[in-house]
Amino acid sequence: MNKANELSHVAPSLQLAQEFIWREAELLDRKDYHQWAALWTDSGHYVVPIDPDTTDFAATLNYTYDDARMRAMRIERLTSGHSVSAVDAARTVRTVSRFTEVSSTGDLIEVNSAQILVAYKREVHTLFAADLTHRLRFTQAGIRLEQKVIRLINATDSLNALGFLL
C-alpha cells in the first residue's frame, strides 16, 4: 500500500493529494485500469470537456462524462480485446506537475495540475497537454477520486480515438 492511502485517516493535504495523483498517472500508463477503477467513489465522474470554460458538465457536450457505470463499460472495452483501438493502443508516459490547491474542506480537497502525456503508436509520438482538476475524498478506505476533469488544451479541435484513458 502506498503512503497516500496509508495516511488517509489524516486531513487532506496537498502533499498526499500530489502523491495520489502521481500514483494514478502510473496506473494509467501501465494500463492497470481495474486498479484505477478501484480509486473512485461510487458517485465519481471522469470528464473530458470540449468547452474549455464549462463547469456544468452535465449540461454541456463532452468527449467523456463517465459515471461509475460508464467507467466500467469503458474499462471493459479497453481490456476485453474486442476493440481494435484498444488492442493496438498507444503506449503512454505522462508527467503531472504544477500542483495547486483550489480548496480543502472536511475530507475533500480539490487540486489543479498540468499534465503532459506522450503517446507512442506505430513509430509516431503524439503529445497531449491538459490542465487537470482532481477532487479527492479522504476516507477510512483511502483516498478516492470524486471527480477528475481533463481540459485538453486543444479540446475544441477534433480528437482522434485514443484507445487509452487520459
3-state class (DSSP) for residue 160: coil
Say what the pTM is: 0.89
Where on the phi/psi map is residue 15: left (φ > 0), alpha (ψ -120 to 50), or beta?
A: alpha
Cα 21 to Cα 1, 81, 99, 124, 129: the distances in Å are 15, 27, 10, 27, 16
Burial of 79 (0-12, 13-18, 19+ CB in 10 A): middle
Contact by Cβ (8 Å): 16, 5: no
Each residue of 97-132: pLDDT tens digit?
999 999 999 999 999 999 999 999 888 899 999 999
CATH topology for the 3-152 domain: Nuclear Transport Factor 2; Chain: A, (3.10.450)
End-to-end alpha-carbon separation of the chain, Å? 24
Each residue of 17-57: pLDDT tens digit?
999 999 999 999 999 999 999 999 999 999 999 999 999 99
- CA–CA gap between residue 81 and residue 137 (Å, rounded): 33
Tell me the percentage of the chain whose pLDDT exceeds 70.
89
- CA–CA gap between residue 162 and residue 153 (Å, rounded): 16
pLDDT on residue 78: 87
3-state class (DSSP) for residue 104: strand
Cell numbers of 122, please?
Answer: 506505430
